[in-house]
Amino acid sequence: MSRITVVGTGYVGLVTAACLADLGHVVIGMDVDDAKIARLRQGDIPIFEPGLAELIAAQGNRLTFTSNPDEAYRDGEFIFICVDTPPMYSGDADLSRVWKVVDRLPKSVGHERVLVTKSTVPVGTGAAIKAELCSRGFEDIGYASNPEFLREGTAIADARYPDRIVIGADTPETQDRVAGLYERLCCSNILTTDVASAEMIKYASNAFLATKISFINEIANVCEAVGADVRVVARGMGLDQRIGPHFLNAGIGYGGSCFPKDVSALKQLAGNSGYHFQLLTAVIEVNELQKRRVIGKLRRYLGDELRGKRIALLGLAFKPHTDDIREASSIVLASRLLAEGATVVAYDPIATDNMRRLLPCVTYAASALEALQDADAGVVVTEWQEFIDLDWQRVKAVMARPLLIDGRNALHGAGLKELGFEYEGIGTQIR
Ligand code: UGA
């Protein structure tokens, strides 16, 4: 059992704190946001993540929260940096919050501490932090990069059953100490390496997954032109073990707080080092265009003039099981439609409030059926199960024109066509 301080109680921090406490460690979550800490102390979890509230509640005294740095750092043998590193206008990651943590570290507390970075930081950040610590006479502090690979919506399972744990540290002692924290997970893939390689593994993994998505999206676009079906193509490709079946679902682009940010940051990192990462430039551009692809499809059915048309957006979150709308395709799509003069009516099971703050000009419905009422077209933007389970016969009766554009290839297109819908997916052939 170790004493751990987790700095940052956002998405990564809370999941990390809860899972480390669940492994038997004594964890204190620290955040500069007093209001957030007050909520957490009441058991009120400020983010939506399935199972997280229950997991935090189950930890009892093993997991506490504070906004007082003295209290937070007093006993921590391991200090996890879990603050966010949002993109700046240049595409670089903003590391100001990471540096604030480093700058506020107190002098030695009588035992050897390890500073562990979970935040996604550009390669070279760990070396800079280590140099800064040394220059301030904090040589007793070990340093490790321990990137996270959690997906929103399945973060608890991802943390409990990780495909791999990556630990980058300068010394075998630090590597072993951090690895020891995860002993009870029984993960057979613990990769210990140097700090820079660990930092790069995180970026390369996210950039590769984003590349896979942009690749299959381009294949989908070509499938539309040549009469093939991308779903079958993806299945056929994925059966090759060298390719694998995952992240080959074509759609209207990837979003979220990670892929767009990390792909840009890696491209920027390469550029800052004098290397032009051409492939990532294409990955980003393909994704931006893919987010707009629905507009062309709507025009084909409704005519060039979308002004005055009523378009229902089903789903706003960047993916199901989250209320996160950061970089969501829905933002681009809704804005484009509004710019065309269309009336946009949107519904999402949990992300509506977040979107309302960002795009007040959209009309928000209380249910999918309400959004589809009198609509000239419905667009599936996020593949929530409740859309798949809709009573489509009823939907057809309430729509002005039974036209569905399925941006996630989630619905049963053939069945919908039989019901009398005009239906189109992304790269699919429904006959
Ligand atoms: C992603 C990674 O999957 C995690 O491993 C990583 O830890 C995390 O970023 C992070 O860096 O913190 P996340 O952003 O939660 O996780 O979401 P994903 O499930 O990866 O989906 C990202 C986007 O890709 C979504 O918009 C989703 O709709 C889209 N996607 C995913 C596709 O369009 N097609 C696919 O086949 C898969």
Mean pLDDT is lowest, of 107-111, 201-205, 265-269, for 107-111
Q: How far does the centroid of ligand 1 lie from the alpha carbon of residue 118, in Å? A: 17
Give domain status of residue 84, yes or no. yes
Residues 329 and 408 in one domain: yes
Contact 413, 422 (CB under 8 A): no
Give domain status of residue 431, yes or no. no
Whether ligand 1 lies within 6 angstroms of the CB of 319 is answered as yes
For 278, the token pair is: 């051409």
Give domain status of residue 327, yes or no. yes
**Domain with 343 in it: what CATH number?**
3.40.50.720
Contact 113, 140 (CB under 8 A): yes
Q: What is the pLDDT of residue 194?
A: 97
Q: What is the pLDDT of residue 92?
A: 81
Determine which residue's CA is closest to atom 34 belonging to ligand 1: 249
> Which helix H or strand E contains 204, and what residues bound it?
helix 195-226
Residue of 211, 258, 321 to test ligand 1 pocket, by largest number of atoms within 8 Å of CB: 258
Residue 160 has pLDDT above 70, yes or no: yes
Helices (DSSP H) in 65-151: which residue ranges? 69-74, 96-104, 125-135
Contact 24, 97 (CB under 8 A): no
Residues 219 and 352 in one domain: no
Percent of the chain with pLDDT over 70: 99
Give domain status of residue 325, yes or no. yes
Residue 210 CA: which ligand 1 atom is closest? 24
Q: Give 232 or 93, the one with higher predicted confidence.
A: 232
Residues 297 and 284 in one domain: no
What are the tens digits of pLDDT across the range 71-95?
A: 998 888 999 999 999 888 887 889 9
Residue of 259, 382, 426 to test ligand 1 pocket, by largest number of atoms within 8 Å of CB: 259
- Domain range for residue 164? 3-193
Q: Look at the block and give the residue holding tokens 């009573």.
A: 391
Q: Show contacts of 106-113: CB within 8 Å, 24+ apart.
A: 106/69, 106/70, 106/73, 107/138, 108/138, 108/140, 108/141, 109/73, 109/74, 109/75, 109/76, 111/77, 112/77, 112/140, 112/141, 112/142, 113/76, 113/77, 113/78, 113/79, 113/140, 113/141, 113/142
Q: Choose one of 143, 170, 193: the last residue of a domain.
A: 193
Q: Give 88 or 4, the one with higher predicted confidence.
A: 4
Query: What secondary structure does DSSP assign to 277-319, as a single string?
Result: -HHHHHHHHHHHHHHTHHHHHHHHHH-S--TT-EEEEE--SSS
What are the tens digits of pLDDT across the range 22-65?
A: 999 999 999 999 999 999 999 999 988 999 999 999 999 999 99
Give domain status of residue 377, yes or no. yes
Please state the domain count of the chain. Answer: 3
For 338, the token pair is: 């509004």
Which of 15, 78, 86 has the alpha carbon at shortest distance from 50? 15
Q: What is the pLDDT of residue 376?
A: 98
Burial string for 51-63 (b: 16+ CB within 10 Å, else e) reads ebbebbeebeebb
Question: Average of pLDDT values for 183-209?
Answer: 95
Whether ligand 1 lies within 6 angstroms of the CB of 154 is answered as no
Q: What is the pLDDT of residue 29?
A: 97
Give domain status of residue 79, yes or no. yes
Residues 21 and 153 in one domain: yes
Q: What is the pLDDT of residue 106?
A: 79
Residues 184 and 208 in one domain: no
Residues 261 and 319 in one domain: no
Determine which residue's CA is closest to atom 5 belonging to ligand 1: 149
Question: pLDDT confidence of 138, banded at 50, 70, 90?
Answer: confident
Residue 417: partners with Cβ closer than 8 Å, 6 or more residues away: 423, 430
Residues 124 and 168 in one domain: yes
Whether ligand 1 lies within 6 angstroms of the CB of 99 is answered as no
Give domain status of residue 198, yes or no. no
Residue 169 has pLDDT above 70, yes or no: yes
Residues 133 and 221 in one domain: no
Q: What is the pLDDT of residue 108?
A: 61
Contact 3, 77 (CB under 8 A): yes
Q: Choose one of 254, 289, 324: the last residue of a domain.
A: 289
Q: Mean pLDDT score of the chain, rounded to an integer?
A: 95
Give domain status of residue 261, yes or no. yes
Residues 47 and 110 in one domain: yes
Q: How far does the centroid of ligand 1 lie from the alpha carbon of residue 213, in Å? A: 10
Q: What is the pLDDT of residue 161?
A: 93
Q: What is the pLDDT of residue 407?
A: 98
Whether ligand 1 lies within 6 angstroms of the CB of 93 is answered as no
Residues 226 and 161 in one domain: no
What are the tens digits of pLDDT across the range 286-297?
A: 999 999 999 999
Determine which residue's CA is closest to atom 16 belonging to ligand 1: 151
Residues 180 and 60 in one domain: yes
Q: How far does the centroid of ligand 1 lie from the alpha carbon of residue 259, in Å? A: 7
Q: What is the pLDDT of residue 109?
A: 55
CA distance 99 to 246: 36
Q: What is the pLDDT of residue 91?
A: 76
Contact 396, 384 (CB under 8 A): no
Residue 226 has pLDDT above 60, yes or no: yes
Residues 133 and 159 in one domain: yes
Whether ligand 1 lies within 6 angstroms of the CB of 252 is answered as no
Q: 6 φ, ψ to 5°?
A: -110, 115
Residue positions annotated with a catalytic role = 258
CA distance 261 to 327: 9
Please, what is the end-to-end C-alpha distance for the chain in angstroms? 60
Residue 159: partners with Cβ closer than 8 Å, 6 or more residues away: 15, 16, 19, 148, 150
Q: What is the pLDDT of residue 357?
A: 95
Q: Choose one of 236, 260, 289: the last residue of a domain.
A: 289
Whether ligand 1 lies within 6 angstroms of the CB of 316 is answered as no
Residue 110 has pLDDT above 60, yes or no: no
Q: Look at the block and give the residue holding tokens 């979220």.
A: 256
Q: What is the pLDDT of residue 88?
A: 87
Residue 114 has pLDDT above 90, yes or no: yes
Determine which residue's CA is closest to atom 7 belonging to ligand 1: 149
